[in-house]
Amino acid sequence: MSESLAMIRLWNQVKSNRSQLKKELKKANYLKKSRQSIIHAEQAHKEVFDKIDCLDCANCCSSIPPLITNTDKKRIAKHLNLKLKDFEQQYITLDEDGDEVFNQSPCHFLGDDNKCFIYEVRPKACRQFPHTEGHELFENLNLFKTNIKYCPAAFHILKALSVHT
């Protein structure tokens, strides 16, 4: 089994044990923002994404509709040769917070091979997910804690950070 698949398998085991995750997050002093913790997060992000292959996973694309900005809409509609209105009608809905998101999960643009049909023009939220690159992690801490439940990479970044307690 590849390292990437082993990491995803371990995450699946932990994810099914939510109380273990909750406990880990409660004692997570290492999630306090400091110069040192930002450096650790940068290292952890790089190390984990060097090992994990998102094409073995695609869990974000299968389970969390990304937020769509106006710039995203214009760019993707143009790429698909659609008028903005038609694109909105076909693909966009509002979530419970009133934010615009894709209206289908798994995503319309996710292929059977886990590749994204619109990779070059994908939404900003897709490019930034799981928001773990250095300072980004601390600026989106609640989001990071949520993403651990969906993203094996985020979970392994948490594990790598926990070494620095």
Whole-number minimum distance, CB 98 to ligand SF4, in Å?
Answer: 20
- Cβ atoms of 87 and 68 within 8 Å: the answer is no
**Range in contact with ligand SF4 (rule: CB under 6 A) among 28-36, 39-47, 90-98, 122-130:** 122-130
When asked if residue 14 is in the footprint of ligand SF4 (CB under 6 A), the reply is no
SS3 (DSSP) at 156: helix
Q: Per rule CB under 6 A, is residue 57 in the interface with ligand SF4?
A: yes
Structure tokens at 145: 């804690």
Residue 48 interacts with ligand SF4 (CB under 6 A): yes or no: no
Which one of residues 14, 41, 61, 77 is an interface residue with ligand SF4 (CB under 6 A)? 61
What is the smallest separation between the CB atom of 150 and ligand SF4, expressed in angstroms? 6
Dist. CA 79–CA 55, nearest whole Å: 23
The span of 15-23, 28-36, 88-96, 105-113 binding ligand SF4 (CB under 6 A) equals 105-113
Give the nearer residue to ligand SF4 in terms of CB position, either 37 or 59.
Answer: 59
Nearest of 126, 70, 77 to residue 100 by alpha carbon: 70
Distance CA 37, CA 39 (A): 5
* CA–centroid distance for 119 within its chain: 15
